[in-house]
Amino acid sequence: MPSVGTLAFDEFGRPVIILRGQDSKKRLFGIEAHKSHILAAKAVANTLKTSLGPRGMDKCMVSPDGDITITNDGATILSMMHVENEIGKLLVQLSKSQDDEIGDGTTGVVVLAGALLEQAEALLDKGIHPIRIADGYELAAKIALDHLDKIAESYPLDLKKLDPLINTAMTTLGSKIINRCQYQMAEIAVSAIMNVADMERRDVNFELIKVQGKVGGRLEDTILVKGVVIDKTFSHPQMPKEVRDAKIAILTCPFEPPKPKTKHKLDITNVEDYKKLREYEKEKFSEMIKSIKDSGANLVICQWGFDDEANHLLLSQDLPAVRWVGGPEIELIAIATGGRIVPRFQELTSEKLGFAGHVYELDFGTTGDHMLCIEKCAKSNTCTIFVRGGNKMIVEEAKRALHDALCVVRNLVRDNRIVYGGGACEISCAIEVAKEANKIPTIEQYAIRAFADALESVPLALAENSGFSPIKLVSDVKSQQIAQNNSRLGIDCLNKGTNDMKAQSVIETLIGKRQQISLATQLVRMILKIDDIRLPAVSTHFRLIFTIDMGSNASIMPQQEDLQTICQQTGFTAKEVQRLYSRFKILDKNNCEFLTRENLLCISEVNINPLGKRLIDVIMEDYGENNKIDFQQFIFLLAKFRRAKFKSSVTEFNTRNSKLRFLFDMYDRNHDMKIDRNELLEVLKMMVGGNVHDDQIEMIADHTINELDKDGDKSITFEEFCKTLERIDADDKMSMKFLT
Amino acid sequence: MRGDLTTALNPIPLYKQGGGEEKGEMARLSAFAGALAVGDLIKSTLGPKGMDKILQCNMSGGPDAGKLLVTNDGATILSKIGVDNPVAKVLVDISKVQDDEIGDGTTSVVVLASELLRETENLISQKIHPQIIISGWRKATQEAVRSLETVTKNNSLNVEQFKNDLMNIARTTLSSKILQGKKDYFAKLCVDAVLKLHGKTDLQSIQIIKRLGNNMSDSYLEEGFLLEKRIGINMPKRIENARILIANTPMDTDKIKIFGSRVRVDSVAKVAELELAEKEKMKDKVDKILKHGCNVFINRQLIYDYPDQLFAEKGVMAIEHADFEGVERLAQVLGGEIISTFDTPDKARLGKCKLIEEIMIGEDKVIKFSGVGQGEACTIVLRGATQQILDEAERSIHDVLCVLSQTVKEPRICYGGGAAEMLMANAVSQLAEKTPGKESIAIESFSRALRQLPTIIADNAGYDSSELISNLRAAHASNKSTFDMENGTIADMAQLGILESFHLKKQVVISAAEAAEMVLRIDNIIRAPPRPRQRDMRNH
């Protein structure tokens, strides 16, 4: 363990204790590392736990720029949490990969991983080697996955009867804020998927579904547009707002004078050139328009901008046009309308045009916003879900929720096996894993049993979030499952009166669940295998501040002869002494030419300083007499804090040694010229207050003494103390500015 | 935020420095505190006797530095105060959406949402789960909207009656604004303007021009269109039966746009020749424009001296630098095309109007187009003593126009003055009585929150709200009546003619419930560390 505590002073003479050396690296290993990983993972999982299930709560995320996101989606929460801890980051990755792969269950996977790690902690305490735990988990995961396959049911996938699919989508949407219009949203998601699903290949191309949001209206106004919606309008305000039977030219070349890519110069040397160029330019524009007109198009969609002239030419030729349409949208339009993206005007032919039955502008509210809606396309399988909602956050959240629902339905199309949700399949797996555990002869048995317990964390969290007594309910369900041999029993979160998840139609996809278990296990294995972690150190400063305000009030002169002696001895100028005296008089509330403890405590900086009392102790005992300090003693004390930058300003008071001595005295209260463990402890406790546990302070103290103590007497001598602070510019740190 | 501390003295900071998390009760507390603070802030502006706020922009910099704003408009107030509380931001957002969507009711929606949350505080302390409250609220919202729907009236078929309704709505909306003294006058102004749109919600063709000076009753509705530009020198200042060409074309020097071209000559003579060619090109262009047979030429871009002079010679009025919106609006109003090429004079559609003349408003000259073809356009000229009054008047007029145009679209109306809220509150209370389970408490709280709106209106007017509201509640059992703000008594809103748009009321209830629900669902507030400020190097 490197240096734990060093004392330093900042430029105002305020002592700062630096835990851990600044230039050394942090390193953790062994059981310590495991424990710290588990703690971090637990913290992340606990944050997410309350979002699980239909009764889960939302999180409000404040971004670095102060924007607000309110969400219930595990992956989104984690990605916006700005987790710094390394293990925390792994969990973020975990939920992200679940999101990429399955799209749903991102919260569940993190909760499961957290529970697995929590169980591992208990096993580690029992003295089981992490690798054995990891192996046990691996075995258990295999048992659980096999069991899942066994209890999975094949689900009817019928294009005519969408209800079962809608039920699944509803399970996913149940936990989101949009569950108010759960059915409508689920229906939209299902019909969107069915619209683009390729039943032959059993796959769904997500590129064909776009989710577009627009603030305003209500959630109920959300619609599925079988076509494309883009956030653009016609380029000229006088173009018709509606085109029927549009033949669309999709261009990726700008309506601008040609701009060759190679570097060139075109010099105009005489009037003819000028005129010719003018003609050429004009020709170019009419050529462009003509080529479009010739192809038979009656709508132009362009990725780039138009020149004013081109824009007007288009208008006068009755060619409505849309400009600055983004790349992905252009592609989507091309796919939807069956058109080809044309990069050059010359290549435009009538076969390359896309077709849409109805293109029109949508208006919203009072702001004059418009959107362009392209419907009845040639290839009708692209669709856009157009989300409306009362505010920005709800629209964003609805978009995320719909994405999850879409993913789930897609997964069903890919693989129509399902398991029952509401914790039913987790409980069933837990029972199975626990049963199998007893058959394992080796130490792994414990790990497998722990795995079974961890599996129950999901139904436990569900029950807890729904406001039930979690342990009682889960054990009830568990015993029922065994008694009835029915793996469909789960937690009745919504109080519907039955805990048969089939009756409630709470359905989850098999691949989603499988993925959750295997991803979580994988990650936990990985974390358990890390036993050493190094990272650049972060220094934690505990700052202790003591400054003595030098005041600025009117002056009362001390005795002339006193003044001279004082100046000689301390190196203060007469003016400084004068000012210090006035300060002294201000502090001296009783007007008796000396300061008491109470007077010093009135200095607010001293009062709030955790070491303030100690500081006064030092001042009173070492510099004053009988708990009083008079002006002469006061000024000798302050002389220690004069700057000693130049030889001439050095006096017996402000040498480096005497400055450090003052510090040393702060610790060494029995004046034996040694700081022993108890003295150090006392000061540390004062410094950190109640924030740090006593055990930890003791460890800091032990570490500090071990490190600084060179002669092995378990205490720090003044020489050792000075050596520690060797590199610190005591003069700089322990000086203050005296006003004149 | 400090991370957890382990045994081994290794603090585990989960979040980056500066980031952190508030959990459970703490989060809920800070959420409620934010919402209530925003609600209380804006509450006093509600109703016909609501007060205004002065907003002073940051003095330290920015374009509005030190500008004063006096307003009563909820959305404007909230958009100008920088709130830090995440939940307060949600409320600011709903008021903005309400403004975009309906244009008015921006205060009510925030106040209702915050009242709902105030009720929740009680429920939560009774240990009722937020999710139960939410499901209760959903039922309550449905019931409220349904009950409101039953009392709506639709007079859109009877034109006279409908116009009367619109007047009443405009008057109701205006009564809480600065224009209330002249509300009949402005209501008529706005209704006339909106009726000219023939059912369109696009407010673009209603232009509002603000001019300092005189007093507010000198504001008027100008038939036709006003353009805040000057006519070039030496040009006719008045043209009857104008044929107007609206263009968007460079009239300085028509640059060659082909990339990379530049002029390179070896003698001064050639420069002169080129200059001549350029000039000739411009002359060609002007000739072409004149061939359209127009006697007014309006361009979005600059018109240089030379073409200006050419136009003047031909007796054509040329107006330069009409901004983009102005040009679009002009084109719409005059029924012309915005033209950028001039080779096909026969195809180009010119704008027409009976008379163009320069008139004075206060001290400024503006160009007035009267007798325009489409007849949809009109201009409201606002006069007022100070800039603040003018700004506030413009916002009020905008609100009224928005509400009116939305009402034309969705012509159902309901009663204002707290009648609608009371009606919904009573319906929701009845639902609460019928509903079994804990949800009933939540539903009851919803009706209490609804009842708060008339209470606040009465409070703001300085009446004994508890007395009035209970009387009102009793009176509501039999008929739709609510209190008279002038006399502090209960009166029949149908007789007083205090009407509001159904669409507006519905949206207020729905958005407020949605926002409150959203806030209620939060149990964790997670803060990312603030982005470190980059030093601004632009000035160095």
> β-pairing, A209-215 with A383-389?
parallel
pLDDT per position as a tens digit, A150-190: 888 887 776 667 777 888 788 778 777 777 778 888 888 88
Q: How confident is the model at residue A539 (pLDDT cuts 50, 70, 90)?
A: very low
Lowest mean pLDDT among A129-143, A334-348, A492-506, B364-378: B364-378
Domain final residue, candidates B324, B343, B374: B374
Structure tokens at B106: 């921006």
* Residue of A58, A83, A390 lying closest to B515 (CB–CB): A390
A50 vs B204, B406, B524: nearest CB: B524
Q: How far apart are CA A471 and CA A477, in angstroms?
A: 10
Inter-chain touch B2–A83, beta carbons under 8 Å: no
* Among A269, A538, A298, CA closest to B10: A538
CATH number at residue B309: 3.50.7.10
Look up tokens 């048992």; give the residue: A143
A73 is catalytic: yes
Residue A30 predicted with pLDDT over 50: yes
Look at residue B12 in the predicted model and tell me its pLDDT: 56
Which helix (H) or strand (E) segment is B289 a member of?
Answer: helix B268-291
CB contact under 8 A, A266 and B262: yes
Mean pLDDT over B323-346 rounds to 70
User: CB-CB: which of B259, B260, B265 is closest to A269?
Assistant: B265
Question: Rounded to whole angstroms, how far apart are CA atoms B449 and A168?
Answer: 36
Residue B179 resides in a domain = no
- Marked catalytic residue, from A99, A404, A492, A668: A404
Residue A380 has what pLDDT?
A: 64
Check whether residue A362 and residue A254 sit in a common domain: yes
Chains A and B form CB pairs within 8 A to the count of 271
Q: Which domain holds residue A447?
A: 28-155+419-529
User: What pTM did the predictor assign?
Assistant: 0.69
Whether the per-residue pLDDT at B7 is higher than 50: the answer is no
Partner-chain contact B525 A62, CB within 8 Å: yes
**Could you tell me if A716 and A601 lie in one domain?**
yes
State whether A188 and A58 are in the same domain.
Answer: no
Same domain flag for B369 and B479: no
**To probe the interface with A, which of B256, B282, B334 has the most A CB atoms within 10 Å?**
B256
CATH code: domain of residue A404: 3.30.260.10
| Side chain identity, residue A553 | N
CA pair distance B361, B380, nearest whole angstrom: 12
Q: In this prediction, what percent of chain A has a pLDDT beyond 70?
A: 83
Higher per-residue confidence, A358 vs B278: A358
**Which amino acid appears at position B116 of this protein?**
L
Query: Which residue among B16, B31, B341 places its CB closest to the CB of A84?
Result: B16
pLDDT for A42-90, tens place per residue?
888 888 888 887 778 888 888 877 788 888 888 888 888 877 777 888 8
Tell whether A408 and A339 lie within a shared domain: no
Binary contact (A58, B256; C-beta < 8 A)? no
Judged by CB atoms closer than 8 Å, whether chains meet at A312 and B524 is answered as: no
Q: Is A549 a known active-site residue?
A: no
Shortest Cα distance, chain B CAs vs residue A259, angstroms: 6
Tell whether the model's pLDDT for residue B308 goes beyond 80.
no
In this predicted model, which residue has the larger pLDDT, A19 or B536?
Answer: B536
The pLDDT of residue A142 is 92
User: Is residue A556 a part of any domain in this protein?
Assistant: no
pLDDT score, position A543: 35
> What's residue A547's pLDDT?
34
pLDDT at B33: 84
Q: In Å, what is the CA distance from A529 to each residue of A42, A119, B534?
A: 17, 15, 40
Mean pLDDT of chain A: 77
What is the count of structural domains for chain A?
4
3-state secondary structure A49-83: HCCCCCCCCEEEEECCCCCEEEECCHHHHHHHCCE
Taking only the tens place, the pLDDT of each residue in B494-527 is: 777 778 888 888 888 888 888 888 888 888 888 7
**B247/B364 same-domain check:** yes
Residues A232, A361 within the same domain: yes
Residue A312 and residue B93: Cβ atoms within 8 Å? no
Q: How far is CA B336 from the centre of its chain?
A: 28
ipTM: 0.70
Is there a contact between A85 and B528 if contact means CB atoms under 8 Å apart?
A: no
Is there a domain that residue A135 lies in?
yes
Query: What range defines the domain where residue B308 resides?
Result: 225-374
Q: What is the average per-residue pLDDT within A29-36? A: 76
CA distance A203 to A196: 9
Give the chain B residue nearest A180 (alpha carbons): B138
Q: Which pair of structure tokens corresponds to residue B505?
A: 């009321």
Please answer yes or no on whether A28 and B8 come within 8 Å at the CB atom: yes
| Burial class of A122 by CB neighbour count within 10 A (0 to 12, 13 to 18, 19+) | middle
Residue A338 vs residues A229, A244, A249, A379: alpha-carbon distances, Å: 16, 16, 11, 6
Q: What pLDDT, on the 0 to 100 scale, is given for residue A137?
A: 92
How far apart (Å, rounded) are the C-alpha atoms in residues A209 and A332?
Answer: 9
Give the model confidence (pLDDT) of B259-276 as tens digits. Answer: 666 666 777 777 777 777
Instruction: Mention every residue, 6+ apart, whose C-beta is less than 8 A from residue B2.
Output: A691, B11, B13
Tokens of A500: 């048969």
Facing residue for A269 by CB, picked from B264, B348, B529: B264
Helix (H, G, I), strand (E, B) or coil at A508: strand
Structural domains in chain B (count): 2
Euclidean distance between CA atoms A541 and B367, whole angstroms: 69
B41-72: per-residue pLDDT in tens? Answer: 888 888 777 788 887 766 555 555 667 778 88
Residue to substitute from A86, A179, A391, A704, interface B, most B β-carbons within 10 A:
A391
**Is A301:B304 a contact under the CB 8 Å cutoff?**
no
pLDDT for A3 equals: 38
> Closest Cα of chain A to B17: distance in Å?
9
Chain CA centroid to CA A283, Å = 56
Helices within A296-353 (DSSP H only): 308-316, 327-337
The closest alpha carbon to B417, from B497, B474, B502, B477, belongs to B497
In this structure, the answer to whether residues B419 and B340 fall within a common structural domain is no
Write the DSSP assignment of A143-200 as a string of letters: HHHHHHHHH-EE----SS--HHHHHHHHHHHTTSGGGGGHHHHHHHHHHHHHHHEETT
What's the CATH code of the domain at B493? 1.10.560.10
**Same-domain status, A248 and A343:** yes
Within 8 A by CB and 6+ apart from B255, the residues are none
User: Is A618 inside a domain boundary?
Assistant: yes
Distance CA B88, CA B86 (A): 5
Chain A residue with CA closest to B96: the answer is A391
Q: Are residue B364 and residue B309 in the same domain, yes or no?
A: yes
CB contact under 8 A, A64 and B531: yes
Indicate yes or no: CB of B262 within 8 angstroms of CB of A177. no
Q: What is the DSSP letter of A54?
A: T
Is A596 among the residues known to form the active site? no
Q: What is the CATH number of the domain that holds A460?
A: 1.10.560.10
**Cβ contact (<8 Å) for B6 and A35?**
yes
Whether residue B110 lies inside any domain: the answer is yes
Which of the residues A107, A337, A384, A704 is marked catalytic?
Answer: A107
Q: Is residue A551 part of a domain?
A: no
**Host H or E run for residue A267:** strand A266-268
CA distance B333 to A305: 27
Tokens 């069956």, located at residue: A338
Q: Are residues B427 and B521 in the same domain?
A: yes
Interface mutation vs chain B, best among A35, A62, A67, most B CBs within 10 Å: A62
Claim to verify: residue A204 and residue A215 sit in the same structural domain: yes
Instruction: Look at residue A556 and tell me whether its pLDDT is greater than 50.
Output: no
To the nearest whole Å, the CA of B463 is away from the closest chain A CA by 33
The answer on B240 and B128 residing in a single domain is no
Residue A106 a catalytic site member: yes
How distant is the Cα of A254 from the closest Cα of chain B, in angstroms? Answer: 13
Closest B-chain CA to A309: B340
Phi-psi region of A398 (alpha: psi -120 to 50; beta: other; left: phi over 0): alpha
Whole-number pLDDT of residue A738: 63
Using an 8 Å Cβ cutoff, are A694 and A656 in contact? no
**A112 and A196 share a domain?**
no
* Same domain assignment for residues B104 and B39: yes
Q: How confident is the model at residue A141 (pLDDT cuts 50, 70, 90)?
A: very high
- Dist. CA A354–CA A288, nearest whole Å: 18
* pLDDT tens digits for range B66-98: 677 788 888 888 887 777 788 888 888 888 878
Q: Is residue B207 one of the residues assigned to a domain? A: no
Dist CA A619 CA A606 (whole Å): 12
Q: How far is B251 from chain A (nearest CA, A)?
A: 13
Q: Are residues A572 and A709 in the same domain?
A: yes
E strands, A518-590, where?
A: 532-536, 540-543
Residue with tokens 């149940």, as numbered in its chain = A174
Q: Mean pLDDT of all residues in chain B?
A: 77
- Give yes or no: residues B422 and B357 share one domain: no
Subunit contact A60:B402, Cβ cutoff 8 A:
no
CB atoms under 10 Å from CB of A727, counted, come to 8
Residue A547 lies in a domain: no
Do A406 and A444 sit in the same domain of this protein? Answer: no
A119 neighbors A434 (Cβ within 8 angstroms): no
Hey, which residues does A218 pair with through a beta bridge?
none
Asked if residue A277 is part of any domain, the answer here is no
Highest mean pLDDT among A283-297, A502-516, A639-653, A662-676: A502-516
Asked if residue B159 has pLDDT above 70, the reply is yes
The pLDDT-based confidence of A283 (bands split at 50, 70, 90) is confident
Q: How far apart are CA A354 and CA A339, in angstroms?
A: 3
Q: Are residues B137 and B65 in the same domain?
A: yes
Question: Is B407 part of any domain?
Answer: no
Q: How far is A317 from chain B (nearest CA, A)?
A: 10
Of the candidates A85, A263, A700, the beta carbon closest to that of B12 is on: A85
Residue A1 lies in a domain: no
Q: Which of A613, A730, A720, A638 is nearest to A673 (CA)?
A: A720
Q: According to the model, what pLDDT value does residue A1 have?
A: 34
Classify residue B416 by its DSSP letter. T
pLDDT at A27: 63
Q: Phi and psi for B54 in degrees, rounded to 5?
A: -100, 130
Euclidean distance between CA atoms B321 and B298, whole angstroms? 8
Clarify whether residues A525 and A606 are in a common domain. no
In this prediction, residues A198-224 reach a mean pLDDT of 78
Average pLDDT over residues A639-658: 71
- Which one is catalytic: A6, A47, A69, A73? A73
Mark whether A476 and A331 lie in a shared domain: no
CB A724 within 8 A of CB A18: no
Q: Which residues in chain A have their CB less than 8 angstroms from residue B173's CB?
A: none
Same domain, yes or no, for B244 and B311?
yes
Do residues B353 and B448 share a domain?
Answer: no
CB nearest to B277's CB, from A35, A275, A392: A275
Whether B130 maps to a domain, the answer reads: yes
* Predicted pLDDT at A4: 42
Please report whether residue A573 resides in a domain.
yes
Rounded Cα distance between B401 and A525, Å, is 65
- The nearest alpha carbon in chain B to A257 belongs to B258
Active-site option among A50, A71, A106, A724: A106
Q: How far is CA B184 from CA A93, B171, B180, B401, in A?
A: 64, 6, 8, 14
The answer to whether A39 contacts B517, with C-beta atoms less than 8 Å apart, is no
| Bigger pLDDT: A404 vs A544 | A404
